[in-house]
């Protein structure tokens, strides 16, 4: 077994996944490496298995991720964590929400290569997707925006008691305070900040978990771009 497949098998074992997923994950990595339009600089399978697959699988450390059935991966980019989670959760429907059309086209090709049938690219901004409002029990976001914006994007898309899981690096007190302010304004609440068990290249990774505790006020979502241009802050 080559090193990439060995690492994939190790990851499957660590997360209690069927070893039959190894070739499916490998197909994702091979498709990523073979497509010159891939919207990420990390395409070599040896690096991508850590940066994209292992990082996406970290979400499975949270039971609420494993139990999710209607998922929106916002700012999905190259398709991570959404495509990986879709393979792990065959009973879930995953929307890969992305505002850039060529990235949506790429994700569609990658999903086809790996036979991912329960993930669908959605060409839209998170705050301008009426069909998604109130429809999800999980929203994921990885390397997308500050917490204050992520909370504001996610709140309208979540059903009550749904969760946002945001992949972040080292903790930042100011960013977390702004995220808490956005949560208070949008009907969300912080549940936990989970430190991912360290591994090479991810020794300070944290997953920030918010729950939709009450209905989101009708003024949300705001106009496109406002969550970044005029963010909700603690100050």
- Annotated binding residue at 126? yes
Per-residue CA distances from 53 to 56, 83, 104, 148, 199 (Å): 5, 9, 19, 26, 13
**Is the peptide bond prior to 81 cis by the omega test (within 30 degrees of 0)?**
yes
- Annotated binding residue at 66? no
Q: Which helix (H) or strand (E) holds 70?
A: strand 70-74
3-state class of 87 per DSSP? helix
Per-residue CA distances from 189 to 10, 14, 152, 183, 201 (Å): 35, 30, 12, 5, 30
> Cβ–Cβ contacts within 10 Å for residue 97, how many?
26
- Residue 131, C-beta contacts closer than 8 angstroms, at least 6 positions apart: none
- Residue 13, C-beta contacts closer than 8 angstroms, at least 6 positions apart: 19
- Annotated binding residue at 142? yes
- Annotated binding residue at 7? no
- Annotated binding residue at 127? yes
3-state class of 42 per DSSP? coil
Residue of 17, 172, 173, 144 whose CA lies nearest to 164: 144
Binding-site residues, in ranges, read: 75, 80, 126-127, 142
Binding residues for S-adenosyl-L-methionine: 75, 80, 126-127, 142
């Amino acid at each position: 077994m080559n090193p990439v497949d060995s690492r994939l098998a190790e990851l499957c074992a660590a997360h209690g996944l069927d070893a039959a997923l190894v070739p499916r994950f490998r197909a994702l990595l091979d498709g990523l490496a073979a497509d010159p339009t891939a919207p990420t600089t990390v395409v070599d399978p040896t690096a991508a298995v850590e940066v994209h697959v292992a990082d996406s699988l970290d979400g499975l450390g949270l039971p609420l991720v494993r139990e999710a059935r209607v998922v929106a991966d916002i700012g999905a980019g190259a398709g991570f964590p959404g495509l990986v989670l879709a393979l792990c959760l065959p009973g879930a429907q995953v929307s890969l929400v992305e505002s850039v059309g060529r990235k949506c086209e790429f994700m569609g090709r990658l999903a086809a290569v790996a036979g991912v049938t329960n993930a669908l690219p959605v060409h839209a901004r998170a705050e301008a997707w009426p069909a998604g409002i109130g429809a999800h029990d999980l929203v994921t976001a990885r390397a997308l925006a500050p917490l204050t914006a992520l909370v504001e994007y996610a709140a309208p898309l979540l059903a009550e008691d749904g969760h946002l899981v945001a992949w972040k690096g080292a903790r930042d007190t100011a960013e977390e305070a702004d995220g808490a302010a956005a949560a208070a304004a949008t009907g969300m609440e912080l549940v936990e900040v989970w430190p991912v068990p360290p591994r090479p290249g991810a020794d300070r990774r944290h997953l920030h978990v918010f729950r939709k505790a009450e209905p989101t006020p009708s003024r949300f979502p705001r106009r496109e771009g406002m969550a970044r241009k005029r963010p909700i802050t603690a100050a």
